[in-house]
């Protein structure tokens, strides 16, 4: 049986309204809103951060060796090195390395970023810079020597200071040297 186009459209709209209603009810029960519930269901969570949020992440890992990688789906070198970073996280995590990622993707690229994180099986938290953030101020606040070149990875010693940073694509050996440095401090 073939439904007339109008009937089919009405059924589709009714189905969407039922789903939206269920999301709203779930959001009310969970204390959130429908958009946040739908966003969680859409793939890996990437909480939004600004410079203060980034500084909170660093402060929250004081006493730990921390590696933070800045990446974006539009950055081919970022995508190429991401599996290596994932491998380093697994290899050195048991020794105390904490890894976090910060996506610089725009709102329109969030579905691609989530798909990328799913495909790479990222086991470490990833954040996204809030839309509207003054990126020049963000770069300077994260690392005064950073001008936005990607990829960018910062290695924090256990005392919270920047022990090393890598700008641009680097070899696994460069990452391992930096990781060993912060694990020993």
- As a whole number of Å, the end-to-end CA separation of the chain is 71
Half-sphere exposure of 124 (CA within 13 A, CB side): 24
Same-domain check for residues 114 and 174: yes
Give the tokens for residue 177: 């040297």
Angle at which helices 76-92 and 172-184 pack, to 10 degrees?
40
Position 44 scores a pLDDT of 79
State yes or no: pLDDT of 3 exceeds 70. no
Same-domain check for residues 62 and 24: no
- Average pLDDT of the chain? 83
Position 9 scores a pLDDT of 40
Position 80 scores a pLDDT of 96
Position 91 scores a pLDDT of 97
Same-domain check for residues 27 and 94: no
Position 185 scores a pLDDT of 76
Contact predicate 158/185, CB 8 Å: yes
Can you tell me the mean pLDDT for 152-171? Answer: 96
CA–CA distance, 54 with 63 (Å, rounded to integer): 16
Q: Which one is predicted more confidently, 142 or 23? A: 142
Same-domain check for residues 27 and 89: no
Same-domain check for residues 52 and 95: yes
Can you tell me the mean pLDDT for 50-66? Answer: 97
State yes or no: pLDDT of 13 exceeds 80. no
Q: What is the CATH number of the domain that holds 136?
A: 3.40.30.10
Same-domain check for residues 64 and 155: yes
Give pLDDT tens digits for 125-161.
999 999 999 999 999 999 999 999 999 999 999 999 9
Same-domain check for residues 81 and 122: yes
> DSSP alpha helices (H): ranges in 31-151?
34-41, 51-60, 76-92, 110-120, 135-142
Can you tell me the mean pLDDT for 23-33? Answer: 41
Same-domain check for residues 89 and 118: yes
Position 43 scores a pLDDT of 59
Give pLDDT tens digits for 115-125.
999 999 999 99
Position 49 scores a pLDDT of 97
Can you give the residue range of the structural domain that contains 29?
Answer: 5-41
What percentage of the chain reaches a pLDDT higher than 70? 77
Contact predicate 97/15, CB 8 Å: no
Would you call 177 exposed, middle or buried from its count of C-beta atoms within 10 A (0-12, 13-18, 19+)? middle
Number of structural domains found in the chain: 2
pTM of the model: 0.77
Give phi and psi for 109, each to the nearest 5: -100, 5
Cα–Cα–Cα angle for 88, 77, 133, nearest 5°? 95
Same-domain check for residues 57 and 145: yes
How many residues are there in the chain?
185
Position 31 scores a pLDDT of 44
Can you tell me the mean pLDDT for 84-113? Answer: 96
Same-domain check for residues 52 and 34: no
Same-domain check for residues 144 and 53: yes
Torsional class of 4: left (φ above 0), alpha (ψ -120 to 50), beta (otherwise): beta
Same-domain check for residues 107 and 165: yes
């Amino acid at each position: 049986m073939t439904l007339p186009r109008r009937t089919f459209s009405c059924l589709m709209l009714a189905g969407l309204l039922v789903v939206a209603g269920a999301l709203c009810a779930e959001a009310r029960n969970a204390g959130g809103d429908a958009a946040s519930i739908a966003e969680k269901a859409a793939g890996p969570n990437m909480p939004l951060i600004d410079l203060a949020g980034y500084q909170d992440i660093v402060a929250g890992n004081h006493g730990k060796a921390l590696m933070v990688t800045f990446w974006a789906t539009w950055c081919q070198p970022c995508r190429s090195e991401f599996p290596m970073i994932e491998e380093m996280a697994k290899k050195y995590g048991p020794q105390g390395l904490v890894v976090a990622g910060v996506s610089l993707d725009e709102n329109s690229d969030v579905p691609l970023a989530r798909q990328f994180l799913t495909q790479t099986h990222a086991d470490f938290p990833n954040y996204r810079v809030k839309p509207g953030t003054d990126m020049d101020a963000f770069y300077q606040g994260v690392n005064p020597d950073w001008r936005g070149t990607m990829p960018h990875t910062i290695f924090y010693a256990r005392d919270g200071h920047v022990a090393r940073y890598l700008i641009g694509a680097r070899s696994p050996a460069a990452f391992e040297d930096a990781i060993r440095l912060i694990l020993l401090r």
